[in-house]
Amino acid sequence: MAFLEIRDLVSGYGEVQILWGASLSLEKGKLTTLVGSNGVGKTTLLRTVMGILKPWQGSVTFQGRDITRLSPHARANAGLVLVPEGRQLFTDMTVYENLEMGAFSRRAHAAMKANLDKVFTMFPRLAERQNQKAGSMSGGEQQMLAVARGLMAEPEILFIDELSLGLSPILALSLFESLGTLKELGITMLLVEQNVTMALAVSDYAYVLAEGKVHLEGPARELMKNDEIRRTYLGI
C-alpha cells in the first residue's frame, strides 16, 4: 500500500480547470519528484493535496485513510507539511521565531527541542543567525529557513515547491544535498522542481505532469535516459 495515494485528481481555480485526472503515489521514506513545464498544474496539485484547494473529483489517501475532505489544519496535524514556493516566511520575525512557528501543532511542539537541534545541525548558518530577522537574510538562507521551518512541523510527508528557484547554482547544490540527509532520516518527500537535472539526480522516483495529468513516470535515473525528457527538459 502506498504511503500517499493521489487518484484521478481534478481541480482548478474558479471555473478554470487545471488538473484533469492526475494520479501518483508516494512510497514511505522515498524522495519523489514532480516535474513539468510552467502552468501544467504542479503547484495546483500540491495545494489540492494540502487541502488549500478543494478537489472537484478524485481522492487523496494517506496511510490508508481517505483525507480528501479533511481541512488543511487537520492534514497538517496528520503530518502533511508544505514548504511553499516563494518561502512565505515571517520576514519581520527572527530565524528562531520562524522556527517556533513551524512547531505549532501539539505533536510538533512536543518534539520542538529535538527538532531545533536537528535543523541547526543540518543548517549551521541558521544557528549562527537565529536572532536575525528573516527578511534581512539572503535568498539562499531564507530557503534554508523555509525548509527548516517545515521540518519543525514534524512531517510525515514534506512537500517542497521549487526548492532552487532564484538561487545560485552553489546554494541550490547545498540545498539539494540536504535532501539526502532528510532521506537518511526517513522523511518521505515530494519535490516540485524546475531544475530537472538536479531533481532527477537526487530522487528515487519521478512523475512528469503535462496538460494537468501524469504523462510519464518511472525510476528517476531511468527517466534521465528518456529521449523525450532529455529533449524537452534537459535540452540535450
Q: Which CATH number does the domain housing residue 236 bear? A: 3.40.50.300
For residue 130, tell me if it sits in a domain.
yes
Residues 71 and 180 in one domain: yes
The answer on 138 and 102 residing in a single domain is yes
Look at residue 48 and tell me if it is in a domain.
Answer: yes
Do 73 and 2 belong to one domain? yes
129/184 same-domain check? no
Span 28-38, average pLDDT:
94
Range(s) of the domain holding residue 2: 1-79+156-168+175-236
pLDDT at 108: 85
**Residues 183, 69: one domain?**
yes
Q: Which residue has the higher pLDDT, 130 or 229?
A: 130
Q: Is the pLDDT of residue 68 over 90?
A: yes
- The structural domain count of the chain equals 2
Residue 86 pLDDT exceeds 70: yes
Higher pLDDT, 108 or 152: 152
Mean pLDDT in the chain? Answer: 93
Are residue 236 and residue 160 in the same domain, yes or no? yes
Q: Which residue has the higher pLDDT, 88 or 27?
A: 27
Least confident interval from 72-86, 98-112, 187-201: 98-112
Residues 130 and 160 in one domain: no
Q: Which is more confidently placed, 195 or 33?
A: 33
Distance from chain centroid for Cα 186: 15
Q: Please check whether residues 74 and 10 belong to one and the same domain.
A: yes
pLDDT at residue 105, rounded to an integer: 80
Residue 64: the pLDDT is 96
Q: Is 235's pLDDT higher than 70?
A: no
Answer whether residue 236 shows pLDDT above 80. Answer: no
> What is d(CA 45, CA 16) in angstroms, rounded to the nearest whole number?
14
Residue 110 lies in a domain: yes
Same domain, 15 and 70: yes
Of residues 232 and 116, more confidence is placed in 116
In the structure, what pLDDT confidence band is assigned to residue 37 with cuts at 50, 70 and 90? confident
Mean pLDDT of 177-193: 93
Q: Is the pLDDT of residue 212 over 90?
A: yes
pLDDT band at 106 (very low <50, low <70, confident <90, very high): confident
The answer on 235 and 162 residing in a single domain is yes
Task: Report which of residues 227 and 156 the model is more confident about.
Answer: 156
Answer yes or no: is 127 within a domain.
yes
Read off the C-alpha cell for 122.
543540518
Same domain as 73, residue 29: yes
Is 232 inside a domain boundary? yes
Of the candidates 52, 40, 43, 39, the residue with the CA atom closest to the CA atom of residue 86: 43
Task: Place 13 in a pLDDT band, splitting at 50, 70 and 90.
Answer: very high
Do 30 and 144 lie in one domain? The reply is no
Domain membership flag for residue 230? yes
Check whether 219 has a pLDDT greater than 90: yes
Q: Within a domain: residue 84?
A: no
The percent of residues in the chain predicted with pLDDT above 90, rounded, is 78
120 lies in some domain: yes
Domain boundary among 105, 121, 155: 155
Average pLDDT value for residue range 22-51: 95
Of 101, 125, 155, the one marking the end of a domain is 155
Statement: residue 196 has pLDDT above 80: yes
Average pLDDT of the residues in 11-40: 95
